[in-house]
Amino acid sequence: MKNTNKKTDKALRTAQYKSTFLTPTEFMARKGKTVYISKEFHQKLNLLVFMLGGGKLTLADYLQNLLQHHFDDFGTEMKELYGKADKPTF
């Protein structure tokens, strides 16, 4: 029974990952800004998107989903830290 629960949990996490990160977005990369990442991450992400995206996902889609998830999960903490940060005065 315990092994079955682990398999079910793993399958659920995999399905959740796919629905969260491996879905196309409405974002058009050419309407965004250039961001530089390491060559190593670029290669890994390109491979991931190519292999798992089924030809329907771009690197920009994946990064948009990743960042949206991060802001959704940690938005409250970011706002709190921002409120405590020393901000420049003009």
Which pTM was predicted? 0.77
Residues shown for the chain: 90
Burial label for 24, CB within 10 Å (0-12, 13-18, 19+), is middle
The string of pLDDT tens digits covering residues 24-72 is 998 888 888 898 999 999 999 999 999 999 889 999 999 999 999 999 9
Three-state DSSP at 28 gives coil
